[in-house]
Amino acid sequence: MNNDTLAARYHAVRKHTLALAAPLSEEDCCAQSMPDASPIKWHMAHTTWFFETFILERFEADFHAFHPAFRVLFNSYYNGVGAKHPRPQRGLLTRPALSEVLAYRRNVDERIVELLAARGLTTELLALLEIGLQHEQQHQELMLTDVKHLLSMNPLYPAYSSSPFVPTLDVLPLTWAKQDAAVVEIGHDGDGFCFDNEAPRHRQFVEPYSLASRQTTNGEYLAFVEEGGYANPALWLSEGWDWVQANNLQQPLYWVRGESQWHEFTLHGLQMLDMHRPLTHISFFEADAFARWCGARLPTEAEWEHSARKAHNFGTQCLHPEADIVQQVDSLSQLFGVNWQWTLSSYAPYPGYRSEEGALGEYNGKFMSNQYVLRGSSCATPAGHARITYRNFFPATARWQFSGIRLAKSD
């Protein structure tokens, strides 16, 4: 890849972030709906901070910070870099103004291009730019999920997008794709970019299993709700049951019970619940309880990756999971571009795993505790960001991400 090609890709990724923020007001961009979410303004500043801190500060001949306070304000979790503004208080940062954050982005973009022209593209600089772009794409997905949660807190149910929300008329029947027992290889093979948690490639043994041909639909999960799934402790892990009771949960996030009809809040505003669309915004605890109610289970990440090994179509970014086939391989559809799919696998290092050195080593490894792995990608994942070996991870109660259910069975 030459400097011009990389500069064009850099600008395309950075421009897409601004496009995602374009439908929002300044007030929308500043607010924070919960500690797990961040304001849109913060996302735009933090992704810029990443390039300034890890690239410009390291390679620029006469480095001067755009604003010295930004090093603390827009640090996320990099303890090796220094102090951080408390995550739950990001929505209190009414200053700097959105206009100054946008100026910060322009300034850093200009300096990155100048750096490329002055230094040329070394292996080290290429690696840092690549992880910076991949990092920004992660935040592009978070921007959509975070603003959706924010808008859902408004009793007016405002829409992020005015584009039409087209109902679906049918759904593919659920079938089961069987796999024999085998020693399988999972993990990244070293060809192209990956995060450090995707490596090294290694072998695992899987017993015979079957994977559902598609993801669970709203209509299928509604049957679980209406048959008392949230009121039956026998279906839930102990911690999950305590969580359901403590929060008085009776339905998925964003579902709204009407007098005669269920609705769902979407980035298109409040819509009638589409029974044929894939279920989304489900926690691990809910996914596990539903699987048990079905007489099934969730897949392990080794089973999921083994079944998806021939996939090649990774979907494009949109605003809500679609019911039609996104990917079909060996009778499996909706592997990518619909919902991240929960697995039974705890987020832990692969055999022989080594994190990156320095502050970038904090990117993945230190989170390998009390979280579960999700596989695939979602409708909010930017184009070009998904791959078969990608390991997403969240706590068992997380459900503001586009996460869904693909069932599995032991044969």
Q: Residue 323: its pLDDT value, please?
A: 81
Q: Point out the domain boundary residue: 152, 186, 220.
A: 152
How many angstroms separate the CA atoms of 376 and 327, rounded? Answer: 11
Higher pLDDT, 315 or 277: 277
Q: Are residues 52 and 134 in the same domain?
A: yes
Number of domains in the chain: 2
363-376: average pLDDT: 93
pLDDT at residue 15 is higher than 70: yes
CB atoms within 10 A of CB 58: 12
The pLDDT, as a whole number, for residue 357 is 80
Indicate if 339 and 227 belong to the same structural domain: yes
CATH number of the domain enclosing 238: 3.90.1580.10
What's the confidence (pLDDT) of residue 329? 61
Backbone φ, ψ for residue 71 (5° rounding): -60, -35
Does residue 167 have a cis bond before it (omega within 30 degrees)? no
In a domain, 401, yes or no: yes
136 and 216 fall within a common domain: no
Verify that 211 and 300 share a domain, yes or no: yes
* Same structural domain, 218 and 308: yes
pLDDT value at residue 1 = 65
Q: Any idea which residue has 């060996």 for tokens?
A: 330
47 shares its domain with 142: yes
Instruction: Examine the domain organization and report whether 278 and 343 are in the same domain.
Output: yes
Q: Grade residue 39 by pLDDT with cuts at 50, 70 and 90.
A: very high
Same domain, residue pair 274 and 331:
yes
Q: In this structure, is residue 163 part of a structural domain? A: no
State which of 152, 168, 193 marks the end of a domain.
Answer: 152
Residue scoring higher pLDDT (330 or 163): 163
Residue 213: inside a domain:
yes
Residues 6 or more apart whose Cβ sits within 8 Å of residue 310: 329, 330
Q: Which of 97, 76, 100, 102 has the alpha carbon at shortest distance from 88?
A: 76
Asked if 192 and 298 sit in the same domain, the reply is: yes
Q: What pLDDT, in 10s, does the model give residues 221-232? A: 999 999 999 999
Asked if 223 and 133 sit in the same domain, the reply is: no
pLDDT attached to residue 239: 98
Q: Which structural domain range is residue 15 located in?
A: 3-152
Q: Is residue 285 located within the same domain as residue 325? A: yes
Is 161 within the bounds of a domain?
Answer: no
d(CA 310, CA 305): 9
Residues 143 and 289 in one domain: no
Query: Could you give the CA distance from residue 273 to residue 290 in angstroms, rounded to a whole number?
Result: 18
Which residues make beta-bridge pairs with 186? 202
% pLDDT > 90, the chain: 85
Indicate the burial class of 241 (C-beta count within 10 angstroms; 0-12, 13-18, 19 or more): middle
| Model pLDDT, residue 365 | 85
Q: What is the largest CA-CA distance in the chain?
A: 66
Q: Residue 352's pLDDT band (boundaries 50, 70, 90)? A: very high
